[in-house]
Structure 1
Amino acid sequence: MTLDTTHLNRHMTHFDGHHEIWLFGYGSLIWKADFPFLERRPACIHGWERRFWQASHDHRGTPEAPGRVVTLVRRPEAVCHGMAYRITPEVLGPLDVREKNGYLREVTTLHFLAPDEHVPGGGSPDQTRHAHAEGLVYIATEHNAAFLGEAPLDAIVEQIATAHGPSGPNRDYLLNLAEALATLGVDDPHVFALARRLRALLVPQRSAGPARGER
């Protein structure tokens, strides 16, 4: 598969003829909705978990020094929380470009949460039985050319701490995601563990220049 998935997504026929489509965001789409939408609601999807296993060559890194961003990997008992957007079909074109670095549209069932609902520990199917709808989500699977896969958390943080791309520092992506999830009342152990390690790594750099303190 080529790295740029724009043309593949534009040939997909999911929800053709629909005037409105639900889109699930689990990464930067949670806090950076730079597209028009009709409605936004907290939501979750079942059977997927969020992982920093995808390279970013176009937003939070470069081809020579890619960053790391989130994708979804299958785990039957998992629940992934994020934000759902009700959009019109023409919004998908710009989103295909935004998500071109290995992400493909997939059909999924979105489960909507009450705005004031908090689900400690990421939630469970019993805690999230609410109204639902079919929608789309962009996922970068292990078959795309930018998939990096699992790595030690410290190695992931080292890469995130130094990567920088057209959309800004990779560290901002991680910290913004952690803050957005905390605001939603979601406990994502993977994201929060990385954010803690990143903050610990940055404190010595800011206080003592290039010297690195104990972590």
Structure 2
Amino acid sequence: MLVREEFNRERIDNLIREANRHGSFHALSHEEREATRHAFLSNIVKDDGLWVFGYGSLLWNPAFHFTEWQPARLFGFRRRFCLQASIGRGSPEKPGLMLALDHGGSCKGRAFHIAPEKIDSETDILWMREMVSGAYNARHIHIQLPDRKVKGLTFVINRSHPRYVSNIGMEETVQLLASGEGHLGTCRDYLNNTIAHLDEMNVQDRYLHEIQQKMRKLDHQNDIA
């Protein structure tokens, strides 16, 4: 579990240095990252706070302060394993994949509400969590809550980023998730945690469940072998 105290500039610098020891790692400078945050915040009305849409690890480990969460749906984007992971839940020896929001379809998750007076501090945490490498773009979006639609923030894949995987088959996805592991843990745990928390919300994601079933089949085959 990540805690908010771990999201600081010193830790980010250490992560980038470690990643660069194993090859070139594309990362934003602190100044570049902050510029994207301020650009996003300059275009929102803060009086009502800020809703943040979570679809992956934010479901169980947001690490930022929020006043409430609600089940939510985002149209125009879908959850997909399309981001190569060489740090975090992957490594040069055991590369993996991470979820991102890619174009098309819709996605169910959770919307977290940040109080107006906490927007600056909590988006600082969010940007250090999500925008280290520039693999995501911060997007202004409309989020469908159970009783209304609200404006908010989410992070979608940056299709021009070198770690974006545009076309990967199911079998390769399963293989990478079955073996991917880094200092934050395994891709397998990441997948299972995401599914478990969606199941708690009675959200069925056929894509994720198909991956999980194929991974169990692979495990069974390996046990027999």
Provide TM-score, normalisation by structure 2. 0.76
- More helix as a share of residues: 2
Asked whether 1:15 is paired with 2:15, we answer no
Contact 2:95 2:179 in 1 (8 A): no
Contact 1:43 1:83 in 2 (8 A): yes
1:18 aligned partner, one-letter code: K
Asked whether 1:30 is paired with 2:59, we answer yes
Quote the residue 1:4 is aligned against.
27
Structure-2 change in CA distance of 1:63 and 1:10 (3 Å): farther
Inter-partner Cα distance in structure 2 for 1:22 and 1:146: 27
Task: Return the match for 1:96 from 118, 127, 137.
Answer: 127
* Unmatched runs of 5 consecutive residues or more in structure 2: 1-24
Quote the residue 1:68 is aligned against.
97
User: C-alpha displacement at 1:63, in angstroms?
Assistant: 4.2
Inter-partner Cα distance in structure 2 for 1:109 and 1:64: 39
Asked whether 1:79 is paired with 2:96, we answer no
Quote the residue 2:85 is aligned against.
56
Q: Secondary structure at the match of 1:187?
A: coil
1:157 aligned partner, one-letter code: V
Inter-partner Cα distance in structure 2 for 1:168 and 1:142: 25
* Unmatched runs of 5 consecutive residues or more in structure 1: 114-129
**RMSD between aligned residues:** 2.0
User: C-alpha displacement at 1:15, in angstroms?
Assistant: 3.1
Inter-partner Cα distance in structure 1 for 2:141 and 2:93: 34
Structure-2 change in CA distance of 1:158 and 1:24 (3 Å): same
Asked whether 1:186 is paired with 2:209, we answer no
Percent identity between the two aligned chains: 26
Deviations 1:138-176 (CA, angstroms, capped at 9, x unpaired): 112221121122212111111111110111011000111
Quote the residue 1:116 is aligned against.
none
Inter-partner Cα distance in structure 2 for 1:152 and 1:44: 26
Q: Secondary structure at the match of 2:204?
A: coil
Inter-partner Cα distance in structure 1 for 2:70 and 2:26: 31
Provide TM-score, normalisation by structure 1. 0.80
Choose 19-28 or 157-166, whichever is displaced more: 19-28
Contact 1:71 1:141 in 2 (8 A): no
Structure-2 change in CA distance of 1:137 and 1:46 (3 Å): same
